[in-house]
Amino acid sequence: MKTLNTIEEVRAWRGAQAEVGFVPTMGALHEGHASLIRRSAADNPATLVSVFVNPTQFGPNEDLAKYPRTLDADLKLCEAAGATAVFTPDKSMMYPPGFRSWVIVDELGDRLCGSSRPGHFKGVTTVVAKLFNIAQATRAYFGQKDAQQALILRRMVSDLNLPLELVVCPTVREADGLALSSRNRYLNEDERKRAVGLHKALAEVERLFKAGTTKTAILHPALVTILDDYVDKLDYAEIVDADSLQPLDEVDRPTLVAIAAFVGSTRLIDNTIIGV
């Protein structure tokens, strides 16, 4: 496995490959990331992983400074999962002085996580568009864990005619159902136990829906009641059209059930799709 430190090195490496699968990450890698790398390695002769904690997707009071940085372990995980190369740009390479250009996906970026994290998706779409242009990948791999991100990036790829295929992979979970996240390492023992509440709440909505309940006026309170027992503060819990992210009265189409909640001071997200 090669470590590529500059954009020029990525371009030179890319030139020698036929097809490339690309897995963009912010590091602090875990089995969720490994599943994307393995999938890319199965689909493509070469897989590039990027590790970059993108400052423009963090708000002023968020965890940019304390976001976990574990590059040595990340490189080992990438290699074990089948990556061919890892790109580790620094901030000055991605955002040199004078940087002024942004990619914005209207409306979809303002809802759910976008309403509590203003500017977050503008940072995500911009850095991913830049990384796509640098990596020139054939396929790029993202997790369903970040459902809104995947939806917005799909829109961006389609709207801007970006010449690659976007593949969304299932959420990898702990044995008790907690979705793996780099931020789970912020949780203390008590918080870790309570963090499972997000999954429990989603599982209850899935259960009710399977049993025939389609009214969101019934599903939504069930979601919130369980969350209230586990989390310290709810950011949002929404049942929305999985394509437009608009609220629904009835689950009569593919529907995203999405949660963001604080356990202690850690903000966790999770989601499920029902009505497919």
Q: Which residues are catalytic?
A: 33
Least CB distance from residue 177 to ligand AMP, whole Å? 11
Which residues fall within 8 angstroms of residue 234, CB to CB, at 6 or more apart? 224, 227, 228, 259, 260, 261, 262
In the block, tokens 């897989």 appear at 47
Least CB distance from residue 180 to ligand AMP, whole Å? 4
Stretch 152-171: interaction string toward ligand AMP, x if CB under 6 A: -----------------x-x
- DSSP at 166: E
The token duo for 147 is 């459902």
CA–CA gap between residue 142 and residue 33 (Å, rounded):
9
| 5 φ/ψ angles, rounded to the nearest 5 degrees | -100, -15
Least CB distance from residue 272 to ligand AMP, whole Å? 13
Least CB distance from residue 36 to ligand AMP, whole Å? 6
* 181 binding ligand AMP? (CB under 6 A): yes
* 50 binding ligand AMP? (CB under 6 A): no
Distances (CA, A) of 125 to 14, 225, 271: 22, 34, 20
Stretch 124-153: interaction string toward ligand AMP, x if CB under 6 A: ------------------xx-xx-------
* 17 binding ligand AMP? (CB under 6 A): no
State the angle between helix axes of 31-43 and 71-81 in degrees (0 to 180), rounded to the nearest 10. 40
Least CB distance from residue 16 to ligand AMP, whole Å? 26
Residues belonging to the chain: 276
Query: H-helix or E-strand containing 22?
Result: strand 20-25
Q: Binding ligand AMP by CB under 6 A: which of 26, 187, 259, 261?
A: 26
Stretch 182-211: interaction string toward ligand AMP, x if CB under 6 A: x-----------------------------
Q: Binding ligand AMP by CB under 6 A: which of 21, 32, 82, 123?
A: 32
Q: Binding ligand AMP by CB under 6 A: which of 179, 201, 227, 240?
A: 179
For residue 178, which amino acid is it?
L
Give the residue nearest to ligand AMP (CB): 143
Per-residue b or e along 88-105, where b marks 16 or more CB atoms closer than 10 Å to that residue's CB: bbeeebbbeeeeeeebeb
